[in-house]
Amino acid sequence: MPTLDAEDARRALAAARVARLATVSGDGQPHLVPVVFAVEHDTVLIAVDAKPKRHRGLKRLRNITENPAVSLLVDHYDDDWSALWWVRADGTATVTDDEAVLGRARDTLGARYPQHREQPPEGPAIVVEIRRWSGWSAS
């Protein structure tokens, strides 16, 4: 059961199309949502996009404001268990409406996802500074 080193974990996360963003509220309630993202070395960029939402005051944004510690998780499942792997990136997140940061998020997300080129995220942006990369691979 090989543990992935930080570089292999970063590369696997960067290649994934979707991650799960885990946040925790100020009173300790966990919250997990799927997100699209872009990786810039030890920084992960996420932006609130135009997909229909009940409101713009999203729980993930409130949680990050109350408790900036977050984790991102990506994984690969296969019926051939020798192909299984997962990566977790733990870090500190900030929420920002800063136009320079949001522009950077739009550019990097647009390079990965055609939907973001066609309909750029309105924001805000979530910037996660990764402090620990971990992962596992069956092979």
pLDDT tens digits, residue range 35-59? 999 999 999 999 997 655 555 679 9
Contact 102, 136 (CB under 8 A): no
Domains of the chain: 6-137 (2.30.110.10)
Q: How far apart are CA 89 and CA 128, in angstroms?
A: 9
Q: Mind giving me the DSSP string for 38-86?
A: EEETTEEEEE--SS--S-SS-HHHHHHHH--EEEEEEEE--SSGGG-EE
Q: What is the DSSP letter of 3?
A: B
pLDDT digits (tens, 9 = 90+) for 70-95: 999 999 999 999 999 999 999 999 99
